A and B are shown apart, each in its own frame.
Chain A
Amino acid sequence: MTLKGRHWAAVWLLAFLAVAWIVIARQTSAIRGARELAALREEHANLAGHGADLERRIRAATSRAVLLRRARGRLGLRLPADTEIILLPVPGGEPR
């Protein structure tokens, strides 16, 4: 069977639609990927910022300025004198 003119036109139209669909699908997928990437970057930045804030607060809370005062005030602890510090020798360990 030989294809008539309108059949060729239909084939070309279908081919064009297929190519256009592929292009649009790829673009849509890329844009979706870009949005996900942007959202992940945003989340990463948020988490990094949150982590930095926690790090700052942990460092502030565990600093000697804060910790020693609280240990003294709340628990009645104090820094030991050297006579109160016992270092156990490592069994079989060679000093450096």
Chain B
Amino acid sequence: MAKLPVRLQVIEAAMLLGLIALVGRAAQVQLIQGGRWSTEARVQRTEHIVLAARRGTLSDRHGKPLALTQETYHVGVAPNELRDPEGDPEVLARQLHLSPADIRLALRKRYAYFAGPFTTLQVRPLRGLRGVHLEPVVNRFYPQPDLAQGVIGRVGDDGHGATGLERALDSVLTGQPGSAVVLKDRDGREYVSPARVIKEPVSGADVVLTLDAELQEIAQRALDDAVERTKADGGDVVMLDPSTGEVLAIASRRRDGAVRPSAFIDTFEPGSIAKIFAVAALLTDDLVQPTERVSGEGGRYRLGRRTIVDEEPLPSLTIADAIRVSSNIAIVKFAARLTPEVQYTTLRDFGFGTPTGIEFPAEAAGRLRLPAEWTRPSAASLAMGYEFAVTPIQVAVAYGALANDGLLLQPALIRQVKGPTGRLAYRHRPEPVRRVVTPTVAAALRDLLRGVVESGTGTGAALANYPVAAKTGTARRVVRGRYAPGQYTASFVALFPADRPQIVLVVKIDDPRTGSYFAAQAAAPVTRSMLEQALAAREVALDRARLSTAAPLPRAPGVEDDGGVVPLVVPWPYHPDTVTGHPFRTVPEVAGQSMREAVRALHRGGFRVALKGWGVARRTAPAAGDSATAGSVVTLFAGPAP
């Protein structure tokens, strides 16, 4: 047996060796393998999470939200973690609106997953349950789901816009997701600890649309009623502000309930609503006099091998009569004075045969053939509104040019875009496309359209106190490339009010089957109803300050002869719809700019432009920096480039 000191020395040596081994191993772990273990530990203890960015809000022109982003949840359940395996499934079933049997079946698995999305109100009672894990997801929420559904569109499962404006504006509405690091325990459960934000999410931009929610609702309801009443295949309504090109309402309805933005994508032969464009060409080229008459031919007119018919013939007709009673014979006779090139160019100038350029992801161009492709009866057909196809939005834009003194504007659906910080990133300004007719011709055409409502085919849309200008159109319907026997499209276009119109209203009813198929009966009363509702509504985009001056002063009703009618009560002090603001604006500096740029700058400033000379902008009168009334004419002097 060894002595005590020897044994101690052995123990000490062993301990020393052990210590050296420990230090060596520590050095190996820390110094040699340190990087690997550090990475592995980080992966085990931390997790990178994506911080979802809020998708921008879509709202109507008054700020009423139409599409919002809302936090919703998917629900995961670990059955072995539940404290009350009998009671908790009942709560889950009640809150998730699932049957208890389905819940119990799902809870037989190790982990049950219920992909909602479930709202915060639904999951609120689940938050306190152990074993229930909530996975937040941002989801799109539509406060009034059926309001302008076809136009607004929907977001797909991937969170990106799938249809409509949600798709067209996806890059604007989608924000930039952020990222953060959170701590986990060894079972992968997240610690309650502050997340380390690596990158803050940036919200998407908020978009204010030109739509007016109240007008939109009026349009949708009126269209629904009309389609139901006439047992029609479907229909469209478009309301447009002619002075800005802003679309105020756009409704489409199919009989089968399909939500399709047919006002943008479905074309139809316009029929008589296109007669006004032939008259525009005739008046522009001074090819017809107001007193000039053509024979009504007793209602049947032979043109080549074709017979043109008027339903209610007159013995002789002026150009005003041709529009007022929508005479096919008279318009064909008058339009024979136009060359095919002029007829084509006029229709093309009004925007037919080409997309309007509105910010919608899909838009049909319509069909307008070149004169070289015309057949012998084409000129007559085009004058009557056949042999070319248009969309309701194109019709609204073209009539908008008549309302806007001959200036064709690009239609718009987007009024403002505000960045995540609230900074204004875009504001819509009227975009002139071209001058189609002179203001004088446009005024003459509006007068002709006024006659339609006063004593022509459009009396069904007449209002007692406010003048309306309009045109009816009843055209044979094309189905799969052929005229469908007995099927018609009833359309009606109105300018309200007739003087300085504020709304262009297009109503199209496809194949009305009950009652008359004529636009005068099928579509005109719908227009009248919508206008009355718009007048009675509180917040629609009508400038009542202007309307009040247009309306004749009402007779003060006596107490005994009021007939039970309660007049609209107007609060006092009265707040006008339009804030008048300062009437003067500063003329912008345009010297040195090209004529196009200079004219645009002046238009943006709110002025009308008269051109003198050609080339590069030299000066203006009033001069740059001077004040002039908004809407007044600024003369732009141009000359050859120096």
Which residues of chain B come closer than 8 Å to A65, judged between CB atoms?
217, 221
In the assembled complex, the CB of A50 is this many whole angstroms from the nearest CB of chain B, namely 6
With A31-B192, A34-B192, A94-B583 known as contacts, the answer to whether A48 contacts B545 (CB < 8 A) is no
A81 touches B532 (CB 8 A): yes
Given contacts A35-B192, A42-B127, A89-B545, contact A81 B464 (CB under 8 A): yes
Q: Is B479 an interface residue (CB 8 A)?
A: no
| Majority secondary structure, A binding face | helix
Contact with A along B454-469 (1 / 0, CB 8 A): 0000000001111000
Is there an interface contact between B543 and A87, defined as CB atoms closer than 8 Å?
Answer: no
Q: Chain A residues near B434 (CB, 8 Å)?
A: none
List the A side residues contacting B531 at CB < 8 Å: 82
* Contact across chains for B567 and A50 when beta carbons are under 8 A apart: no
B627 interface residue per 8 A CB criterion: no
- In the bound complex, residues from chain B placing their C-beta under 8 Å from that of A3 are none
Query: Are B119 and A63 closer than 8 Å at their CB atoms?
Result: no
CB distance from A82 to the nearest CB of B (A): 4
Given A52-B68, A90-B574, A60 and B144 touching (CB < 8 A)?
A: yes
Total residues of chain A contacting the partner, CB 8 A: 38
For B465, the closest partner residue in chain A by CB is A82
Which chain A residue shows the least CB distance to B630?
Answer: A96
A19 shortest CB reach to chain B, Å: 21
Alpha-carbon distance A21/B463, docked complex (angstroms): 83
Chain A 55-87 interface 0/1 with B at a Cβ cutoff of 8 Å (1 = within): 110011001110000000000000111111111
Measured between beta carbons, the chain B residues less than 8 angstroms from A82 are 463-466, 531-532, 535
Residues of A within 8 Å of B127, CB to CB, are: 42
How far is A96 from B580 in the complex, measured between Cα atoms in Å? 6
Task: Select A48's contact among B70, B466, B549, B576, beta carbons within 8 Å.
Answer: B70
Q: How far is the CA of A34 from the CA of B545 in the complex (A)?
A: 55
B440 CB to nearest chain A CB (Å): 23
Q: How far is the CB of B515 from chain A (nearest CB, A)?
A: 21
Indicate the size class of the contact surface on chain B.
Answer: 35 or more
Closest-by-CB residue of B relative to A35 is B192
B583: chain A residues at CB < 8 Å are 94
Minimum CB–CB distance for A61 against chain B, Å: 11
Say yes or no: A86 contacts B193, CB within 8 Å: no
Cβ contact within 8 Å between A38 and B70: no
Q: Are B194 and A30 in contact (CB under 8 A)?
A: yes
Shortest beta-carbon distance from A30 to chain B in Å: 6
Residues of the A chain whose Cβ atoms lie less than 8 Å from the Cβ of B221: 64-65
Is A22 part of the binding interface, using a Cβ–Cβ cutoff of 8 Å?
no
Partner of B546, one of A31, A48, A95: A95
Residues of B near A89 (CB, < 8 A) are 545, 548-549
CA of A60 to CA of B192, assembled, Å: 40
Q: A59-B143, A86-B568, A88-B548 are in contact. List 8 more A-B contacts (CB 8 A).
A: A35-B192, A38-B192, A45-B136, A65-B217, A65-B221, A82-B465, A83-B464, A95-B549
The 9 lowest CB-CB distance pairs between A and B, nearest first, are A49-B120, A87-B548, A95-B546, A82-B463, A89-B548, A96-B578, A83-B464, A34-B194, A59-B144
A residues in contact (CB < 8 Å) with B: 30-31, 33-35, 37-38, 42, 45-46, 48-50, 52-53, 55-56, 59-60, 63-65, 79-90, 93-96
Q: Can you report 11 A-B residue pairs in the complex whose CB atoms are below 8 A from each other?
A: A30-B193, A30-B194, A42-B127, A52-B119, A79-B532, A84-B565, A84-B568, A87-B548, A89-B545, A95-B543, A96-B578
